[in-house]
Amino acid sequence: MWQRIPLCKYTKIDLIDGVKISVLDANINQLESKLIFYRQISEDTGLYKNYKVAEYHFCKIRIYDSGTVLFIGSIHKLWNSLHNVLAPNYKKTKNYKGYNGNLFTLKDIIEVRHHLKKLFECTSDKMIFQNIEFGINTTPNFNPQLFIIGLLYLTTKSFEFRFDNNFAQVIYQRYRVKIYNKSNQYGIIEKTLRIETQIKKSEEYKYKKLDIININSFADINVSTLNNAKGLLLRHFNRVIYFDYTIRENEFTKTIKTTLLKYKNPQYWFQFKTKSNKRDHKKKLQKYISNHSDNLKEQIISNILKKFELIIAERPQIKNKKTAPFNQLFNTKKTALSNHSSKGLKGANKPYKKCRVTAVDISMQKEDSILLSHTGLRYYFENDKLIFLIIKNKYLSKKWLYNGFETQIKELAHNIRNKHSNCKRSQDDNNNPSQTRLF
């Protein structure tokens, strides 16, 4: 049976990261001699709380007056801290909160389990999970934002977005799904999209899917139970409905293009009077995605399956652990723009140059270029659809929305030139002392 205490709210299933563990039969005297514990004061009552806490490798250990011992935090961050692995955007001057953006394998989890057994001086079956977070850091070939901005809904609720649309989630009474841009969070050069699911537990109700996963204590972590958790993550992710912004709209009629505009709007999916009508449109959208796009969701699912094989595989032995060998991105120089790929970039070694209007990189264009032109627009369309879509939404008028690709490229370049000319003219007028000013 699951061991429960009043503080427990959610069970988060992960391979494996954030946890809340109730430690039975911990050697409290030895624990207090190893770590520095302190009391916290409640802001509500002004009294000391009924537990003392110690900080431990970006995690926390609580000892309650009742004798209950809790370990709370990210075992992934714990492992990285033990091995001196730092985030790519680590700065000594900032409040560093640890790093969990790299690969974390079953072998690493078992190593953490052994470490905690020695710390608490108890067996792993005495470390009972209260919360387990399950998620996988995928590394897609596309900008993660391109998928996130297309998220529509899951079952009956639309996604809520935070942190400049880098984070999206749907919360239900008994579970939640989170999808967010891990590369932006930690400054990781490799594109990283995290898919994560959480299941709620309560005293009154034991969610049946917990039985499917078969994880009660740290002793239960093995290939089989992690495979169960992976299956649950995929079931939740498969129910996510999204609009794929790689859909090739030039392959459709004007009528279907109008329909696609509606499909992009999350609110559109909640105005159907019957479930069958909504289901029919969902099937149409899926058909368009399957036959006329890069199918980003299928790419992510494929990546999840590949990542899982890496997670359960043996991590190669590295002689010098002090050099943070498993964080290959830490010593890699950052590119000038973190939101675009240099794949296929002509003259990739050219110095970074930005467009005077859009501020995006135009080093793939002629050396004397000052504005984003046909060449750069085609480059972003082929290599970074997200940037292309942002530019298209801002600089292409509705008049040309349903025209062919070449026409849109021509009009975009034209409007960018006009914007530059208007700004320059306005600046010249402001600098002209003989110019009559209205204000």
Which tokens is 389 given?
A: 């879509």
* Beta carbons within 10 angstroms of residue 134's beta carbon: 26
pLDDT of 335 above 60: no
pLDDT at 436: 29
pLDDT at 426: 60
117 lies in a domain? yes
pLDDT of 9 above 60: no
78 lies in a domain? yes
Last residue in a domain, options 210, 240, 270:
240
Q: Are residues 163 and 43 in the same domain?
A: yes
Which tokens is 254 given?
A: 């004007």
* Beta carbons within 10 angstroms of residue 201's beta carbon: 21
What is the DSSP code string of 273-333?
SSHHHHHHHHHHHHHHHHHHS--HHHHHHHHHHHHHHHHHSPPPP-S-GGG-TT-TTTTSP
Instruction: Tell me the whole-structure pTM to 2 decimals.
Output: 0.63
Percent of the chain whose pLDDT exceeds 70? 80
297 lies in a domain? no
Mean pLDDT of 338-343: 35
Lowest mean pLDDT among 49-63, 209-223, 260-274, 420-434: 420-434
Mean pLDDT of 208-233: 81
For residue 412, the enclosing domain spans 335-427
* Beta carbons within 10 angstroms of residue 195's beta carbon: 23
For residue 165, is it left (φ>0), alpha (ψ between -120 and 50) or beta?
left
280 lies in a domain? no
What mean pLDDT value characterizes the chain?
A: 81
Lowest mean pLDDT among 28-37, 268-277, 348-357, 375-384: 348-357
Q: Are residues 346 and 215 in the same domain?
A: no
26 lies in a domain? yes
Mean pLDDT of 31-44: 89
Q: Are residues 352 and 228 in the same domain?
A: no
- Which residues, listed in sequence order, are joined to residue 195 by a DSSP beta bridge? 179
Distance CA 222, CA 353 (A): 50
pLDDT at 376: 92
pLDDT of 230 above 80: yes
pLDDT at 421: 87
**Model confidence over 121-130: pLDDT tens digits?**
999 999 998 8
Q: How many domains does the chain have?
A: 2
pLDDT at 46: 80
**More confidently predicted of 380 and 331:** 380
Q: Are residues 32 and 161 in the same domain?
A: yes
Distance CA 243, CA 149 (A): 8
pLDDT of 170 above 60: yes
Distance CA 385, CA 146 (A): 7
279 lies in a domain? no
As a 3-state breakdown, the chain gives helix, strand, coil percent values, each rounded to 5, of 40, 20, 40
Distance CA 75, CA 116 (A): 10
Last residue in a domain, options 240, 260, 283:
240
pLDDT at 346: 41
311 lies in a domain? no
pLDDT of 327 above 50: no
Last residue in a domain, options 223, 240, 257:
240
314 lies in a domain? no
What residues have CB less than 8 Å from 223, skipping those under 6 apart?
106, 312
